[in-house]
Amino acid sequence: MSKRPVIEAQKPVWHDEDDDNVVVTVPKRVKKTMRAELKRTTDEEHGEVDSKEYVARLQEAFKKRHGGTPKWALAAATYGVEDEEESLLRSAAGYLAKDSKLPKTTIHTSYLKDFNIGHRFTRPITVVKFHKTRPVLITADQGGNVQLFKVSREVRQDHFLQSATFKKFPIDCMEIAEQGTAVICSSSSKEYLMQYNMETRQVTELRPPNTVPKQGIRIFAISHDSKFLALAGHNSHIYIVHAVSMEHVKTISLPANATAIKFYPTHSRELWVICENGQIVIASMSCDSVFKVNKQHTFTDDGAVHGTTIALTQHGEFFATGSDTGIVNVYSGQDCRDSTTPRPLFNVSNLVTSVSSIAFTSDAQLMAICSSVKENHLRLVHIASQTTFKNFPDRHGKVTHARCVDFSPNGGYLAVGNEDGKLNVFSIHHFRDY
């Protein structure tokens, strides 16, 4: 074992070498009691003193007011020195221990009141999406409005940034595209999609080719690399098209019409689908010289009669399904791939009406679920303990008819879009970052 070198004692932390050999003028605009402690009758005419003397007076005044020298200002121990990595780990240990695991009993949250005040429409908010790299929340509603809001904990701030409106285009689905610079929206009443570039504010109409049946597009998904779109048809099919050229590259047949579709979060060659009859389809694809579906794995969601929505964790550890009975099943992602009869790890039965939306935090510790059928049907689920937090959202008052939910990239915020056009944003204290 190597012997650590002994060094001389470190200087007190309130000593700064930059303050040495400087002439300081004693300020006049301070409280009388403080000025009396800092100024002496022997000072120069203009109140100028040597910096060391001035710092000594500040320290003396501080000690008088706080009953001595605080612990943080004492000299460091002289028994040795840690290397840089150990020092950083030791200083961060308290934060790591505190923040690594989410407590299961009570969740501490704050409600960011009136987040979309002044920019609220009466039509239902159908989609809420947090931008992956910028502190921006994007919403879409049945009035054809796309809105961008700056995300921060500041109260009394107008969070609104910009908006776009698609006339006679009630938005049912929205995805962030072009590596974060644009959004694509679909409507069950239209056979085309609308793209809005958030940097140039340009609006573009995206029309699928003639090989895709002319029908409204209620739901679609975009691949991780923004290269492919998966459009859900009305005839138990999904159509894969290039996001830029809109070239039709593949058709996937399903056991029934799709009610929710998701590309795997971290790569673009796996599509997860829940059908209206409760069956789950995982389609594995490849795109070398020719785009093709290599494998299609199917199983039935446990106890589901009519599937409504799905969610995948960022790295595929968990897969959640929602149904019209209000039950949310949480599976192991690997079990879903390996078995034709996977059993849920657990299920959540707090919602008694059809599940509208499910979202996970990026670290897979927390899940949000909601139903738009009844008021206050919004719950947060602690994954490790498989329990629901009892103090949310009750302590913030009632949430109206929650239709869609999303977490910010690091879990610091939860957004909830409601049927009445209200936008609820909560700060999750455990996750400090956006």
pLDDT in tens, 389-414: 999 998 777 899 999 999 999 999 99
**Residue 84 clears pLDDT 60, i.e. is over it:** no
Sheet with 387-388: list strands edge to edge: 357-360, 366-370, 378-382, 387-388
- Would you state the pLDDT for residue 75? 45
- Would you state the pLDDT for residue 423? 96
Would you call 118 helix, strand, or coil by DSSP? Answer: coil
Q: Where in the chain do CATH 2.130.10.10 domains reside?
A: 109-428
Q: Band the pLDDT of 7: cuts 50, 70, 90.
A: very low
- Give, in degrees to the nearest 5, the angle at Cα 352 between 387 and 337: 60
- What residues have CB less than 8 Å from 105, skipping those under 6 apart? none
Residue 89: Cβ-neighbour burial (10 angstroms; 0-12, 13-18, 19+): exposed
Mean pLDDT score, 330-343: 96
Which residue did the predictor score with more confidence, 303 or 60? 303
Helices (H) then strands (E): counts for the chain? 4, 30
pLDDT digits (tens, 9 = 90+) for 159-198: 999 999 999 999 999 999 998 999 999 999 999 999 999 9
pLDDT digits (tens, 9 = 90+) for 345-383: 999 999 999 999 999 999 999 999 999 999 999 999 999
pLDDT digits (tens, 9 = 90+) for 245-272: 999 999 999 999 999 999 999 877 899 9
Sheet with 413-418: list strands edge to edge: 109-111, 423-428, 413-418, 402-407
- Would you state the pLDDT for residue 290? 63
Q: Give CATH for domain 109-428.
A: 2.130.10.10
Query: Residue 275 and residue 371: Cα distance in Å, rounded?
Result: 18
CA-based nearest residue to 407, from 427, 387, 383, 393: 427
pTM score, two decimals? 0.77
